[in-house]
Amino acid sequence: MKVATKLLIALFVLVGASADMSLGQRAEISGTVVDATDGGGLPANIILGGTATGAQASAVDGTYRITGIEPGTYSIEFSLIGYITYRVPVTLAAGQTLVLDARLDESVLDVGGEITVVGGVTQKREDFPMPMETVGTQEILTNLSTNSSMILRKKTGVDIQCTGVDRCETVLRGFNNAFSTTAYVLTDYRQSAVPSLGVNIFSITPAQTLDVDRIEVVRGPASALYGAGVDAGVIHFFTKDPFTHPGTTISFSGGERSYFGTEIRHATRVSDRFAFKVTGMYGQASDWELDLNDAADEIFAVQECDPLEDDTTPESEAAACVAAGGARNSDYEKLNANATLAYKLSANTDLIATGGYSKLDATVLSGIGTLQAKGFGYSYGQLRFKTRRPGVDGFFAQAYFNKNDTGDSFVYQTLQNVRDKSLLMNFQSQYDRTFGKHSVVGGVDIQLTRPDTQGDINGRNEDNDNTDEFGVYVQGQVEAHPRVSLTGAVRGDYDSITEDFQISPRAAAAIHFGPRNRPKAHTLRTSFNIAFSAPGTNSNFLDIRAGQLPGTDILVRGMGSAFGHEWRRNPDYSFAPTNLVATSLLPTSLGEDRPQGADLGEIYALVHAGLDAIPDDVLAQQIGGALGVPLDAATTAALVGLLSPANTTVSGFSPGLLGILNPSTGELGFVADLTDIAPLDKTTTTTVELGYTGVFESVGEGLVINLDGYYSKRKNFVGPLLMETPLVVVPTLSANLESALAAGIADNAVLAGTLGLFGVTPSQAAALVVGFAEDDLPSTVGIVEPADNLAGAGSTPELVLSYRNFGEIDYYGLDAGFELQASRALSFFGNASIVSDDYFDAGEVGEEGSSLSVALNAAKLKGRLGGQYNSPSGFYFNIAGRFTDDMPIQSGPYVGLNCRIAPDLPDDCVESYLLMDVGAGYVFRNQLDGLRLDVSVNNVLDNSHREFIGAPKLGRMAMARLTYTIK
Question: What separation in angstroms does the CA of 741 have from each of 605, 607, 616, 733?
Answer: 11, 11, 21, 12
Letter string b/e over residues 853-886, b meaning 16 or more CB atoms within 10 A of that residue's CB: bbbbbbbbebbbbbbbebeeebebebbbebebbb
Q: Residue 310 has what pLDDT?
A: 56
Per CATH, domain 2-104 is 3.90.1570.10: no
Is pLDDT above 60 for 280? yes
Q: Residue 7 has what pLDDT?
A: 42
Mutual angle of helices 733-747 and 600-612, in 10-degree steps: 80
Is pLDDT above 80 for 122? no
Range with the poorest average pLDDT among 305-314, 377-386, 671-680, 916-925: 305-314
Is pLDDT above 80 for 315? no
Question: Rounded to whole angstroms, how far apart are CA atoms 30 and 67?
Answer: 8
Q: pLDDT of 361-385, one tens digit each?
A: 999 998 888 999 999 999 999 999 9
Question: Rounded to whole angstroms, how far apart are CA atoms 695 and 117?
Answer: 23
Task: Delimit the domains of the chain by residue range.
Answer: 2-104, 114-289+328-535+681-721+804-935+946-959, 543-677+724-802
For 43, residues 6+ apart whose C-beta sits below 8 A from its C-beta are 56, 57, 58, 59, 62, 80
Question: Rounded to whole angstroms, how far apart are CA atoms 217 and 227?
Answer: 15
**Using CA of residue 705, residue 834, residue 827, residue 58, what is the dihedral sign?**
negative
Q: Residue 1 has what pLDDT?
A: 46
Q: Residue 540 has what pLDDT?
A: 94
Fold of 114-289+328-535+681-721+804-935+946-959: Maltoporin; Chain A (2.40.170)
Range with the poorest average pLDDT among 29-38, 868-877, 929-938: 29-38
Strand order in the sheet with 582-584: 593-594, 582-584, 780-783, 727-729, 657-661, 668-671
Q: Residue 853 has what pLDDT?
A: 86
More confident residue, 446 or 630: 446
Is pLDDT above 60 for 829? yes
Mean pLDDT confidence for 258-272: 96
Mean pLDDT confidence for 816-824: 93
Q: Residue 9 has what pLDDT?
A: 46
Q: Residue 23 has what pLDDT?
A: 45
Q: Residue 266 has what pLDDT?
A: 97
* DSSP label at residue 907: P
Q: Residue 785 has what pLDDT?
A: 96
Is pLDDT above 90 for 907? no
Q: Which of 459, 370, 374 is nearest to 413 (CA)?
A: 370
Q: pLDDT of 946-960, one tens digit each?
A: 999 999 999 999 999
Helices (H), ranges, 699-797: 733-747, 749-757, 762-773
More confident residue, 10 or 666: 666
Q: Residue 838 has what pLDDT?
A: 95
Classify residue 140 as left (phi > 0), alpha (psi -120 to 50) or beta: alpha
Is pLDDT above 80 for 305? yes
- Collapsed DSSP state (helix, strand, coil) of residue 118: helix
Range with the poorest average pLDDT among 335-344, 549-558, 646-655, 807-816: 549-558
Is pLDDT above 60 for 916? yes
Question: Rounded to whole angstroms, how far apart are CA atoms 904 and 913?
Answer: 21
Range with the poorest average pLDDT among 169-173, 180-184, 590-594: 180-184
Q: Are strands 839-840 and 826-835 parallel, antiparallel or unpaired?
A: unpaired
- Side chain identity at residue 724, one-letter code: E
For 793, residues 6+ apart whose C-beta sits below 8 A from its C-beta are 590, 591, 592
The helix or strand, by DSSP H or E, that contains position 5, with its residue range, turns out to be helix 2-24
More confident residue, 83 or 99: 99
The number of angstroms, rounded, from the C-alpha of 434 to the middle of its chain's C-alpha atoms is 36
What pTM, to 2 d.p., does this model score?
Answer: 0.83
The DSSP-derived string for 664-703 is TT--EEEES----BPPP--EEEEEEEEEEEEEETTSTT-E
Q: Residue 109 has what pLDDT?
A: 66
